[in-house]
Amino acid sequence: MSIKADANVQRWIATLPPISWALRQAREMLIGTLRQGPIPQHVAFEMDGNRRFAKNNHIETIEGHNMGFEALAKVLEVCYKCGVKVVTVYAFSIENFNRPKSEVSGLMKMAKLKLEQLCQHGELLDRYGAGIRVLGERDMIPDDVLPFVDRAIEMTKHNTDAVLNICFPYTSRAEMTAAIKATVDEFSMPAEPAATPFSQARITETIRSKQPKRAEPSLPTLREDSPDPAAKSDVDDSVSSTTTLNPGSPQTEAKGKGKAMPFKDAESITVDSINSHMYTADCPPLDIFIRTSNVMRLSDFMLWQCHEDTHIFFLKCFWPEMDLWHFIPVLLEWQWRQKKEREGRSGRRLKTE
């Protein structure tokens, strides 16, 4: 219980008027200072170490999670004040469902409570201009938590200055799988015909009425030309399907329909098309990835997003200990590297000139 007592004493000292005023001024000063340099647009946190922190300090596991939430609130405040646009946090992994039942239900209860509190303070969140989004497998959220999730999203929908992504039942592999699936879906749906005042049915009708005799002899050859569609390539498929639909004159039909293939070309799939189906599609690229508690793994979080130009930091502190003073060295080092990179680039340019 000593950790709690310590925290209480600290809080009591911090609330003494002169000290709280000085602390606030110092924070303002620091944040204002950091804003002078480049600011990351997108920061991701893997909040690791709540349980180990609780164990080391002999407090309940759920109390550790509670303190972790408090730390998150502090860090978010710093981030948004500095001007970070998107913060992504890993709240709950799909694998976490394997934890002891009591802990999972405790976490869910906490999620419900926090989201409920969020809803009560809707206008306070507005001050940061932060909109909440929940990323992950929606159908895995327990039924009793889901309404709270929806309400929190709904209430902060109009905030577009900043985004808080909460990854809740999430794993990166599930995300990538979903993105690939969505891409395949997109490209295997027949392409919608362009809106046009001309009616295909009318055209075929006219053609048929104009050339009633020629259509008859062309039918047998048609059947030969369109056997089992599965055995042929896509282009053949498209021809055979159009011809079977309109048994008019196959040659002209095929030529006229050449542009409007029933499927989009699979070869036109690029990294961007998969990227556009990721949960973070409309977020800026990930600049900083922070994982606490000295574990050096990504652990199925932001695998696709940590691709390049993401600076990955593994911090030694446990997540509940995370605050401004742990975050600032990271930000400073990132700014320093950014400066180095820019110098390196301009130096190279000078050399080549």
Partner 1 sequence: MPFQTKDTGGMNPREREELLKPYLPAAPRLHEASIKRKQHSNKTASGLGVRNVLKKQLYALSFALIHAIFSVYIRIRIACHAVYLRIVSVLYHHHHTPEYIQRDVSGLSRKPKHLSVILNLEEGGKRVDAKEKLISEVADIAAWCASAGIQMLSVYERTGILKDEMQQSHREISAKLRNWFGKYQAPDLHLHSPNMEVVHPSYYSAPAHKGAAEYGIAIMLVAEDDGRESMVDLSKVLTVMAQKNKLSPADITADVIDNELTSSVMAEPDLLISFAPYVDLQGYPPWQIRLTEIYCEQDNQSVEYQVFVNALRKYAQATFKLGK
CA dist., res. 337 & res. 311, Å (int): 9
For residue 105, count other CB atoms closer than 10 A to its CB.
Answer: 12
Active site residue 150: no
Binding pattern to partner 1, positions 100-139, x when CB under 8 A? --------------x--xx-xx-xxxxxxxx---------
Strands of 86-90's sheet, edge to edge? 130-135, 162-167, 86-90, 42-46, 288-291, 311-314
Q: Which of 24, 42, 41, 43 is nearest to 32 (CA)?
A: 24
Q: Is 73 in the site for partner 1 (CB under 8 A)?
A: yes
Closer residue to partner 1 in complex, CB, 248/290: 290
Using CB under 8 A as the binding rule, whether residue 22 contacts partner 1 is answered as no
Residue 208 in the binding site for partner 1 (CB under 8 A): no
Q: Which is nearer to partner 1, 108 or 128 (CB)?
A: 128
In whole angstroms, the minimum distance from the beta carbon of 337 to partner 1 comes to 7
* CB of 184 closer than 8 Å to CB of 262: no
Cα separations in angstroms, 215 against 218, 243, 278: 5, 12, 50
| Active site (annotated) includes residue 48 | yes
- Within the chain, strands assigned E span 42-46, 86-90, 130-135, 162-167, 288-291, 311-314
How many residues in the shown chain lie near partner 1 by CB under 8 A?
89
Q: Is 164 in the site for partner 1 (CB under 8 A)?
A: yes
Q: Pick the catalytic residue from 50, 56, 96, 275.
A: 96
Nearest residue to 1 via CA among 59, 78, 68: 59
Q: Which of residues 214-253 bind partner 1 (CB under 8 A)?
A: 230, 234, 237
Tokens representing 156 are 């902060």
Residue with Cβ nearer partner 1 (114 or 246): 114
By CB under 8 A, is residue 154 in contact with partner 1?
no
Helix (H, G, I), strand (E, B) or coil at 218: helix
Interactions with partner 1, residue window 33-52 (CB under 8 A):
33-37
Q: Smallest distance, Å, CB 254 to partner 1? A: 18
Report the residue number, 248 or 289, with the smaller CB distance to partner 1: 289
Q: Which two tokens stand for residue 87?
A: 């913060």
The single residue listed with the structure tokens 């502190």 is: 317
- Tell me which residue has tokens 């860090």: 75
Residue ranges in 289-308 that form contacts with partner 1 under rule CB under 8 A: 295-300, 303-304, 306-308
Least separation in angstroms between CB 313 and partner 1: 8
Q: Which residues are catalytic?
A: 48, 96
